[in-house]
């Protein structure tokens, strides 16, 4: 039983332990999402507390995919708050727990965050991902346009720099 939920700050706080576990699993699996493995629980906790503050402030959406009541995946939409950017958002931190990968959750979360962005009048989405990752292929399948590649943008777990690809998607009203 899969449910996609937009978590408010209180709900995210209640699910903090599961969110921490999800982030640690993604980082420890080698995902390029800002942290180096092994990710300490305290560092993950600090990260989620900032996310929850943003959710509370209305500058971020946090979606969670629950499978049988357990958070199996999540994605965020950072809502640009500067006056000339209120029509756009940045998709961030798409992550599916290793136990639940390749079952369609990543695609479902991306489709849901796009629908939510539309609902909020955010018609331009941007995101970036490590070149060659599964997410790279997923974004192309979902109709994102590659803007370009920055070589040596982010360090891998072995401390070697890897290229990052930047994408955008213009949402239409269809």
- 89 is a site residue for ligand COA (CB under 6 A): no
Q: Closest residue (Cβ) to ligand COA? A: 106
Residue 162 binds ligand COA (CB under 6 A): no
Residue number with CB closer to ligand COA (94 or 117)? 94
Contact by Cβ (8 Å): 92, 76: yes
H-only helix segments in the chain? 9-14, 16-28, 41-57, 105-119, 134-141
Which residue from 136, 142, 122, 108 is spatially nearest to 31, judged by alpha carbons? 136
Q: Which residues inside 14-53 make contact with ligand COA, applying CB under 6 A?
A: 26, 29, 31, 33
| The binder of ligand COA chosen from 1, 82, 84, 141 (CB under 6 A) | 141
Q: Which is nearer to ligand COA, 9 or 108 (CB)?
A: 108
Candidate residues 95, 113, 125, 171; the one interacting with ligand COA per rule CB under 6 A: 95
Tokens of 95: 């992550």
* Of the candidate residues 61, 105, 113, 117, the single one contacting ligand COA (CB under 6 A): 105
The residue among 86 and 115 lying less far from ligand COA, judged by its C-beta, is: 115
Beta bridge partner(s), residue 125: 89, 169
The 8-class DSSP code of residue 99 comes to: G
Report the C-alpha dihedral over residues 85, 149, 34, 168, rounded to 10 degrees: 30
- Which residues sit opposite 129 in a β-bridge? 165
**Residues lying near ligand COA in the complex (CB under 6 A):** 26, 29, 31, 33, 94-96, 101-107, 129, 133-135, 137-138, 141
């Amino acid at each position: 039983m899969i449910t996609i939920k937009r978590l408010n700050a209180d709900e995210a706080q209640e699910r903090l332990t599961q969110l921490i576990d999800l982030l640690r699993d993604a980082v420890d699996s080698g995902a390029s999402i800002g942290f180096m493995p092994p990710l300490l629980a305290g560092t993950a906790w600090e990260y989620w507390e900032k996310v929850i503050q943003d959710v509370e402030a209305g500058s971020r959406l946090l979606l969670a995919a629950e499978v049988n009541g357990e958070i199996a995946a999540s994605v965020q939409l950072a809502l640009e708050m500067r006056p000339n950017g209120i029509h756009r958002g940045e998709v961030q931190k798409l992550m599916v727990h290793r136990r639940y990968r390749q079952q369609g959750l990543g695609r479902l979360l991306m489709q849901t965050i796009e629908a939510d962005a539309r609902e909020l009048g955010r018609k331009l989405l941007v995101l970036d991902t490590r070149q060659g990752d599964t997410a790279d292929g997923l974004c192309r399948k979902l109709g994102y346009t590659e803007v370009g590649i920055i070589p040596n943008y982010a360090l891998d777990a072995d401390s070697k720099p890897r290229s990052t690809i930047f994408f955008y998607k213009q949402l239409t009203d269809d």
